[in-house]
Structure 1
Amino acid sequence: MRKKLRVAAYAICVRDGQLLLARSPAPGGGFEWVLPGGGMEHGEDPYDTVVRELVEETGYLVEPTSLLGIDSSRRLFPGRFGRNVDHHGVRLVYEARITGGELRFEANGSTDMAAWHPLDDVAGLTRVSMVDKGLALWRERPAAGRVRTAGKQL
């Protein structure tokens, strides 16, 4: 079985009661909302990753103000030639504030647009689970950087 590790950094940007999200094509068609951010490049600091990814996906310059926590997930995916992939994702979630730039959409990237959404409306959006995990970290600010849901550590 092939093993794959992906480390990524994401931002929770809340301003005037609204959350900044990016839109990404969903598997099987359609779209889903995601936290802006993405994969670390080899040798890159996660802080620098989140700054770079926010500019790429939203057009905004940001300053990460705190590390909210880390999410770790492991899943099995079918691979080529019947060889499964054991995928381990490690996602660092920062709180960030906008320091400059203007909202714009990413061209030729993993997302196609970015937008602000009222916090009360996020639950009604088609979104990846990482949005909810990031918001839980932002709201709860757990000392250990992990949140509990339904008796399970995330």
Structure 2
Amino acid sequence: MTEIIRKLRVAAYAVIVRDDQILLSRWLGPERPMWILPGGGVDHGEDPYDAVIREVFEETGYKAEVRRLLGIQNVHGPLNRDGVDVDYHRIRILYEAEVVGGELTFEVGGSTDQAGWFPLAEVPELDHVESVDVGLAMFRNRPEDGRIARFT
């Protein structure tokens, strides 16, 4: 019998929209690079609010200020990584934020390699992770309960 590994990942992401453009980072995923919301894993003992500010700076060079909590995305299901079965549980904390300083720079030696502003109308054509769509839906619709359990 194959052992299934259980993994929990808590991460904080920023939805930063200005002038009908969204700020995205290019994640160096296991299959291929894909565009994501700037953000990432919350370190042990770190407040997610502080994590998203840190991650935006690391990935984009911008200083960000959080405006509000948009919501939580809960994703749970099987994943196979390098032949290993993983019971993977992702909790994504999504914030609305804005750029208040810094300049666009790319992360070196991290999980992303580029960042940039993209017109909102072009997002559907970008090769991006589904959390970008979830973040934009929360940004646009402001769910009362702050939660999108499943995005379709």
TM-score by length of 2: 0.91
Once the two structures are superposed, the pairs formed by residues 1-154 of structure 1 within 5 Å of their partners are: 1-29=4-32, 31-78=33-80, 84-147=85-148, 153-154=150-151
Q: How much does 1:146 deviate? A: 2.2
Q: How much does 1:79 deviate? A: 5.8
Q: Tell me the secondary structure at the aligned position of residue 78 of structure 1.
A: strand
**What RMSD in Å do the two structures reach over aligned CA positions?**
1.6
Alignment partners' CA distance in 2, 1:77 and 1:16: 37
Alignment partners' CA distance in 2, 1:123 and 1:45: 31
Q: How much does 1:78 deviate? A: 3.0
Alignment partners' CA distance in 1, 2:94 and 2:16: 11
- Deviations 1:64-86, CA, capped at 9 Å, x for gaps: 10000000001212367x76221
- Aligned AA for 1:115? G
TM-score by length of 1: 0.90
- Aligned AA for 2:125? G
Alignment partners' CA distance in 1, 2:84 and 2:36: 29
- Aligned AA for 1:126? D
Gap runs ≥5 in structure 2? none
Q: Tell me the secondary structure at the aligned position of residue 147 of structure 2.
A: coil
User: How many percent of aligned residue pairs carry the same amino acid?
Assistant: 52
Alignment partners' CA distance in 2, 1:83 and 1:28: 15
- Deviations 1:28-63, CA, capped at 9 Å, x for gaps: 33x211000000000000000000000000000001
Distance 1:19 1:79, change over 3 A: closer
Runs (4+) of structure 1 moved beyond 4 Å?
Answer: none
- Deviations 1:115-152, CA, capped at 9 Å, x for gaps: 000111111101000000100000000110124xxxx7
Alignment partners' CA distance in 1, 2:81 and 2:52: 29
Gap runs ≥5 in structure 1? none
Alignment partners' CA distance in 1, 2:46 and 2:20: 31
- Aligned AA for 2:134? K
